[in-house]
Chain A
Amino acid sequence: MFEMFHLEFMVQAFAAAVITGILLSYMGVHVVGRGIVFVDLALGQISSLGVAFAAFIGTGLTSIPLIFTLAGALLMSFINIRDKRLKQEAVIGILYAFTSALTVLFISKTAHGDSDIQEVLFGNILSISWPQITTAGIIFGSILLVQLVFFKKFFALTESFENGENHLIGIFNIWNFLFYISIGLAIVFAVKINGVIPVFSYLIIPAVSAIMITKNKTAVLIIAMLISVLGGFFGLNFSFKYDFPAGSSIVVILGGIFILAAIYKIIKGFTEKKDIEHG
């Protein structure tokens, strides 16, 4: 089980998986609570649009996607819907479709534009270097630090979304703004290391699984982070032993953990129901 750690590139991959997993599973609890699970795919797509645009104009392959993503995050923080028939998720979905189509248009006029997108967006965790891990660690660490220092502020905000009181938040709320900037930064850098689908999975699966397992807020956070680390460990082991691409292996293992959590919840539901009937 630990023989993969004899190889340095697997140790590096695991280190990268752990730091992305911990940050994203933490952010995921907010994302799921706010009901904006597609925020990641939309921001990831906006980042692709940045790559496509940079390839089209022939410069700025690293800076333009970052600027685009942060601008997108800023835009999303302003979405505040008072009409109860509409959900924020719908607007994010529209952004996703719109930027996807725009990306296709840019790629169609750029030679090998799709290979640029592949390179920037389907980062490979197996070929990550220590300097890259250190940079990611510093960025992720700072985001997490801000989140932890203002823990109460951010959670109060997420709870207002959970309770449907988000219309009480003004158009510009500094915490809402900071939240979107954090998630934008986290996604840009995490996607470069892991790729879009693994990042989406790290954000959503641990949080949803943890919420299914427990009702206690702190326990949800701890379990989500634990699941992300387990997903990284067993996913990389799976990739190593059976020689599969690493990112997809991690996603499959996280999916397996979700199924286990779902079964646990169903069984728990049955026994609780029985208890009520008998009691």
Chain B
Amino acid sequence: MKKIISFLFLSLSVLSAAYAGTIKIVTTTTDLKSIAELIGGNKVSVTSIATGYQNPHFVDPKPSYIISLSNADIFVTVGLDLETGWSPQLLSSSRNSKIQKGSPGYVDASEGVGLLQVPSSLNRGEGDIHIYGNPHYWLDPLNGKVIARNIANGLERADPSNKSFYEANLQAFFSKLDVKLAEWTTKMAPFKGSKIIAYHNEWVYFERRFGLQIVDFMEPKPGIPPSPSQLVKVIKEVSANKIKVIISSPYFTTSSSDVVAKQTGVKELTLATSTGAFPSIKNYFDLFDYDVDQMVSVLK
């Protein structure tokens, strides 16, 4: 036992020595991690708290999260109350003054994003718990640029001497994204205006970017599990509009979509909502490669 522990400590200290001199970034989600790695290159070491297949609204805290936060130079959050259930508590437990809200090391990736579905009135009964707007904005690849800019700003505050390095990486990221976006848009172009059903209201940015049309959601209101009357409504809509697919995410059950699929023959598709949702999705670009290819294969 003692040997194992001392080995662990030894490997920890070796690791931390190897990382000495790098900027330590902790992100809440894997998409932010992927972009931070692309901008920071070999000057940063990045860890993400949530995994790519987890619902980012719910994360069960573990000691390691607080430890990595307490050693972090930069903290990057999706923001807009996506992580309110867990990240503020972890941040305050870390007692790291560098990364508290308002400090230079705190990066809110949503800053400057053109938000959709900002509620005009606050009525919880309507399911509008996202009081600042829909927080799933990273699912529009163009918003990846805003995220990258915010992360680069954070890096330049923490490490001004390498500013030109981060700016160069940022420009490279922008150019690659432009090329990829053109590729994705071309692939999706034949299916512009396709009507689809979504499980949860998290695809609005994706929908707008690729000209899809989400007719309805499996959830009667965001966060409320499908009810019998909603299933009946969706089944009618699927038949009336000849809808081909219901899209969902890895962390929702498919049981109610199965019912609709059995009744109507509509296809069910589990798309990736974040980097790492499936083993083949290793970075932010892979995420859209995967989702676009999947969409194209069912809409054909």
Contacts and interface: CB of A to CB of B under 8 A. Distances in A.
Nearest to B66: A9
B129 A111 contact: yes
Contact of B221 (A12, A55, A111, A118): A111
Nearest to A59: B124
Interface string A1-15: 000100111101000
A3 to B, nearest CB: 8
B64 A243 contact: yes
Contacts, number: 79
Contacts of A166: none
Contacts of B70: 7
Contacts of A58: 124-125
Instruction: Please report whether the interface of chain A is mostly helix, strand, loop or mixed according to DSSP.
Output: helix
A110 B124 contact: yes
Given A111-B129, A241-B5, A246 B63 contact: yes
B132 to A, nearest CB: 15
Contacts of A127: 61, 66, 89-90, 92-93
A112 interface: yes
Interface string B41-76: 000000000000000011011111011001000000
B265 interface: no
Given A111-B223, A118-B58, A9 B93 contact: yes
B190 interface: no
A129 B92 contact: yes
**Which of A10, A112, A124, A239 has the most B CB atoms < 10 Å from its CB?**
A112
A9 B63 CA distance: 9
Interface string A105-148: 00011111111001100001011010000000000000000000
B193 interface: no
A8 B58 contact: no
Interface residues on A, range: 20 to 34
Contact of A126 (B63, B126, B128, B225): B63
Contact of A124 (B64, B89, B95, B124): B89
A118 B124 CA distance: 17
A155 interface: no
Interface residues of B, number: 31
Given A7-B70, A245-B61, A112 B92 contact: no
A113 B225 CA distance: 10
A53 to B, nearest CB: 13
Nearest to B62: A243
A241 B9 CA distance: 11
Contacts of A246: 61-63
A244 interface: yes
Contact of B85 (A12, A109, A115, A244): A115
B127 interface: yes
B224 interface: yes
Interface in B1-53: 5, 8
B51 to A, nearest CB: 13
B225 A240 contact: no
A124 B94 CA distance: 14
A113 to B, nearest CB: 7
B79 interface: no
- Residue of B62, B64, B92 most packed against chain A (CB within 10 A): B62
Contacts of A109: 224
Leading 3 A-B pairs by shortest Cβ distance: A111-B127, A127-B89, A112-B223
Interface of A: 4, 7-10, 12, 55, 58, 108-115, 118-119, 124, 126-127, 129, 239-241, 243-246
